[in-house]
Structure 1
Amino acid sequence: MTGLAHLTLQVIRRELILNWRSRTVTLSVLLFFVLASSLFPLGIGPDPALLHAIAPGVLWVTALFAALLSAGQLFSGDFASGALEQMLLSPQPLAGIVLGKIVAHWLTTGLALVVLAPVVALEYGLDARTILMLMASLLVGTPLLSLIGSMGAALTLGVRGGSVVLALLILPLYVPVLVFGVGAADVASGNAWSNANFSLLAAALCVALWLCPWASAAALRISME
């Protein structure tokens, strides 16, 4: 195992332990996703065709806002405790540390959203194939939300009203992810359309996985100067 991979795994383990000890934020994000998604069937009514049509878009939008709510917590804890300064001074690659924090963030929020999606999807009367495609699109798209969110969280670290600035910064970057994610989950438009959007979503994830940790590390150094 390379040094960078070992460092990333150690950071993931540390972050998972810390998140388990203070899991209020994670539970709040998941509760928001469930409640917000469940309100639409109550407000729109029991029309099966309409609920089936809007389900992918509704679940993706609520997942996007849930990811946005938790993105600000990526570095705030370490910033408040002073651990972030030690990370910046460490001889270890900062990008590896950031990648570990992003992966841990996705495991505690994004992966949980993927697991909860089928339960919420039952309220919309989705069939098994549509639910599987929705889960697949979220499985590829939610890591992308965490990666993009890390850049915004690093840039707005310590800024007054940082949550508002964070939303303004990363919501435009979230729009393509939303479009590709909903398109990948929309099996009613045909397999070719769904597969094309899924491929674009996967390509964006590959690019972000290479770029975002380094960009977030650079943004952290700028924010801490």
Structure 2
Amino acid sequence: MNSGSNAGVYTALLRRQLTLALRRPVQLLNPALFFAIVVVLFPLGLGPSPDTLSLFAGGILWIVALLANMLGAETLFQSDYDDGSLDQLLIADQPLYFLVMPYLLVHWMISGLVLALLSPLFALMLGLPLSGVHVLMASLALGSGVMSVLGAIGAALTVGLRRGGMLVAFLVTPFYMPVLIFGSGSVRAAVDGLAYGPYLALLGAMFSLALALGPAAIAAALRISADA
């Protein structure tokens, strides 16, 4: 097939994923609602002291973003597996490497981009200094992309299993840790007046590596799950 028809297939698949997401508003809003609820509950556990909340704000928001990302990862391919659409992807003429990218993009938009855009509001609620807010947004935008790819790999490996959510968490959590460390470290460095550029550069490198290699790993995992 020529490149024009390939682009048409990818565009149609992206439109389909966006339409499915909009038709399930509960699933669409779950990450943002989870993010909001946990952020509101943290002051009750740590106490209302502004100094305490300000000290831990960056780490709190990054941990909540990680959990929210993981929340939506387990069902990434499940509905397509149940209705047989996944089998059509596996036998399609187009490379599976590119066909999984619309899934990643939509998942990142729902569980990453939305949270990055909402993060200034929750950051100010927790007393994060303004010097760290823009770094928080940038680090979440980059880091959530990496986490979406990692979560998709775990979801692809467990797509044929019922109640595989805990297994997905078990598989991908260790790989989330560097993203969490560099993401929260960038915010802490910005608040302390230190250089945060190296942290963002590392997150950018991780994002580029995940975008280049992640779809191949997801495609391989889906084929393994389909053959199991």
TM-score by length of 2: 0.93
In the TM superposition, what whole-angstrom CA distance separates every residue of 1:55-87 from its partner, at most 9, and x where no partner exists?
Answer: 010000000000001001210110111100011
Does the aligned pair in 1 maintain the 2:131–2:191 contact within 8 Å?
no
Q: Distance in 1 between matches of 2:198 and 2:55?
A: 19
Q: Distance in 2 between matches of 1:190 and 1:138?
A: 19
Residue-by-residue CA offset, 1:10-64 (whole Å, 9 max, x unaligned): 3222100110011211212211111011111122222222111100100000000
Equivalent pairs: percent with the same residue?
42
More displaced, 164-173 or 25-34? 25-34
Taking the aligned partners of 1:153 and 1:93, their CA distance within structure 2 comes to 19
Matched residues, number: 224
Partner Cα separation in structure 2 for residue 2 and residue 130 of structure 1: 43
Would the aligned equivalents of 2:54 and 2:129 in 1 still touch at CA under 8 Å? Answer: no
1:188 partnered with 2:191? yes
Q: Which residue of 2 aligns with 1:127?
A: 129
The answer as to 2:179 corresponding to 1:154 is: no
Q: Which runs of 5+ in 1 are unaligned?
A: none
Matches for 1:99-138 after TM superposition, within 5 Å: 99-138=101-140
Is the 2:22–2:28 Cα contact (8 Å) retained in structure 1? no
Matched position secondary structure for 2:182? helix
| One-letter code aligned to 2:122 | V
Residues 122 and 189 of structure 1: CA distance in aligned 2, closer, same or farther (over 3 Å):
closer
Matched AA of 1:13: R
Contact 2:120 2:133 in 1 (8 A): yes
Task: Give how far 1:174 is off.
Answer: 0.4
The equivalent residue for 2:60 is 58
Does the residue aligned with 2:100 lie in a helix, a strand or coil? helix
Alpha-carbon distance in 1 for matches of 2:30, 2:187:
25
In 1: Cα distance, 2:76 partner to 2:144 partner: 15
Correspondence for 1:13: 15
Q: How does 1:144-223 map to 2 (within 5 A)?
A: 144-186=146-188, 187-192=190-195, 194-223=196-225
Any idea what the Cα deviations from partners look like across 1:136-166, whole Å, max 9, x if unmatched? 1101111111011110000011213311110
How far did 1:9 drift? 3.1
Kept in 1, the 8 Å contact 2:145–2:207? The answer is yes
Residues 110-154 of structure 1 show CA distances to partners (whole Å, capped at 9, x for unaligned) of 111112211111211223321111111101111111011110000
Equivalent in the alignment of 2:35: 33
Q: Is the 8 A contact 1:8 1:96 kept in 2?
A: yes
Give the CA deviation at 1:190.
3.6
When normalised by structure 1's length, the TM-score is 0.94
Q: Is the 8 A contact 1:41 1:123 kept in 2?
A: no
Cα RMSD, aligned residues only? 1.6
